[in-house]
Chains A and B, each alone.
Chain A
């Protein structure tokens, strides 16, 4: 069971993650977007979205630090586990709280603003559910596990982190994860589920972070010879062509 959960399952999820993105990019560039709902509602989004996204950036940075940097490295430059822990909580808790606050505002907005809710697909709803579970479990692990230390002390840098790294150098060690508290196990489980869903949801927008904007010239010139979508729109109705239809809501 441990092998299935902590070796086979992560590899399947990561394989779907990688191949899925290639597939989506090749066949659905048109659908590769955040599908912004700012046109419908602005006020809540202006607060919730930056709160959530900047919080998320902090959370990701924290995960990179905690999961990818081995404990031996930080010890080698003289950071004791205690100091490390302190740094992680100082950075992590505000980022986590911003993320949760942002998420709550965004979910509230999505549910309560009629047009935004109408534009929410089943795909979106499932994705938000899994994303929400992952975030809440993560917060739980940080607050209940690390800060208040329910159920004893657990140093994830001895268990979860080496296991996570072991996946990437193809020597997965399920035992490391088997000993982790249930909160961490669930967090990892749902995180990998999210990875598997990733390429098929609007989360793909993460990979369009427009870093190239810093280096490209302001005005882009392009020859009409370069026509990646040539022929598109000449046979079936062009992509994005849908009849405007009224779905009445009293």
Chain B
């Protein structure tokens, strides 16, 4: 047994309202650069739908992930020899048309237009070719089932159940699926990389691309079945979701989680047995993969596991964090979270609680009591449509685990209704789905009202490494070349190194225009007086958010805050 820690995420799909805030904030933070216009580390798809890039789940077409043959695991797109023989042009790479051609508008026409009779129009221009274009597709073209007769019907996950899903307006069902990189235990992107530039961090399992070692062979784009490695066409390097590692290292959640309006994301550690990953991924029966992956996870409350974890160099506070991990609880204890496409055999580590709401909605529409356990159970059984579709997404088509999860969620609704209405809780409800009343109540708390600290249990990286962390950045950037002086005092880089997470425009301007590095900058603070808006909890007013109107008030507000 070799214990490794994995930073993982669970998303509760019942709570996703499809607002795309996660996508937008992620894009602002990480991919608002030339060459990454079409890159969405986080995107939200309407299902049924094509997803992004178009139809990425059709692995017969895109050849992502692994296949198991005779108990041996191999890359679907071909092994090492084939990769090197086809290195001069990747035979299976999505083109920009499979994503979408990024564009901007010709705003200059608006701004520079003279007084005229007709209102000037800003035409769309392609950011790829620089030519005027007709916008005919983009990342969320089929959002909210828009054009579903044409697009959603091509959803690869509808294969085999086409006759059971209708896109008649009154009978449709839909839900949103937010996706980030899965930070797999057995990442096929890393395995596909000829240069060995994609690596899994041994501390927290985050999968990263070493930008200095990437040579732009593009095999990772093909290798990833989730199509979550993107090719930056300006720098010629692969880029992917980093699980916001500079934030996670200092104990704050990813940007997508932090800004999630529905608070549907959970982040925490999972301990797993790295020695058995390959074995679990090689099981031939697709339906067994979900349980095989669950069997890899270790229980940190087991003293033997804790001892082994300590032996393998996992710090004590990380083991403690694994015990409190909401992700571990949802995957292991309550077993309501399911992996996305276990059949790709990459052992993904962003799991999903499937949505019960399509079922609830159907019952409500028929006039029956949608909180009643028996009505819900019956509906889950008979309304095959959502269940089979969900099974295609989360359990390689095996409906049994999806049914189990949905029943637990349904039971929770009924059980909690009694409690909320002041009736006696009926313990036969949780028992009917194999849970204790107490566990069900705890699950309800975690799913419905868990506070920030319960949803994100993120142990920080270790103090002895702290100076090297991106976010703290007290390490001298030029020390490896023998220098030790701060860099020049002009331009963006003037003053002290800036944390990656955030500083606002005013601070940036002040910092650049300050006469001296030692002068107080803003809000009476020192040169360190910056506000990290991304980890501001919205309570009170952080010091330095606004320029100092009056030293007294500023001190009072900061006093309130602490």
Contact = CB atoms under 8 A, between A and B. Distances in A.
A213 to B, nearest CB: 4
B201 A224 contact: yes
Interface in A142-158: none
A77 to B, nearest CB: 31
Interface stretch (A1-9, A68-76, A113-121): A113-121
B203 A244 contact: no
A147 B487 CA distance: 62
A33 B239 CA distance: 14
Contact of B130 (A40, A234, A241, A247): A247
B37 A34 contact: no
B33 A230 contact: no
User: What's the dominant secondary structure at chain B's contact region?
Assistant: loop
Contacts of A233: 470, 500
B216 interface: yes
A18 B479 CA distance: 27
A40 to B, nearest CB: 6
Interface stretch (B151-159, B185-193, B515-523): B185-193
Given A38-B93, A236-B492, A49 B130 contact: no
Contacts of B186: 219
Contact of B203 (A49, A52, A224, A241): A224
Interface string A226-250: 0111111111110111111111111
Given A205-B215, A235-B477, A240-B211, A50 B232 contact: no
A60 B15 CA distance: 60
B500 A240 contact: no
A221 B128 CA distance: 35
Contacts of B90: 38
A161 to B, nearest CB: 29
Contacts of B477: 230-232, 234-235
B131 interface: yes
A210 B217 contact: yes
Interface in A33-60: 33-42, 45-46, 49-50, 52-54
B498 A50 contact: no
B196 interface: yes
B480 A40 contact: no
Contacts of A247: 130
29 contacts: A34-B215, A36-B218, A39-B95, A40-B95, A42-B93, A49-B89, A54-B88, A115-B96, A115-B129, A210-B84, A213-B80, A213-B83, A213-B195, A213-B196, A214-B81, A220-B193, A221-B200, A222-B199, A224-B249, A225-B468, A231-B480, A234-B499, A240-B35, A240-B211, A244-B33, A246-B125, A248-B125, A248-B130, A248-B131
Interface of A: 29-30, 32-42, 45-46, 49-50, 52-54, 114-115, 118-119, 205, 208, 210, 212-214, 216, 218-225, 227-237, 239-250
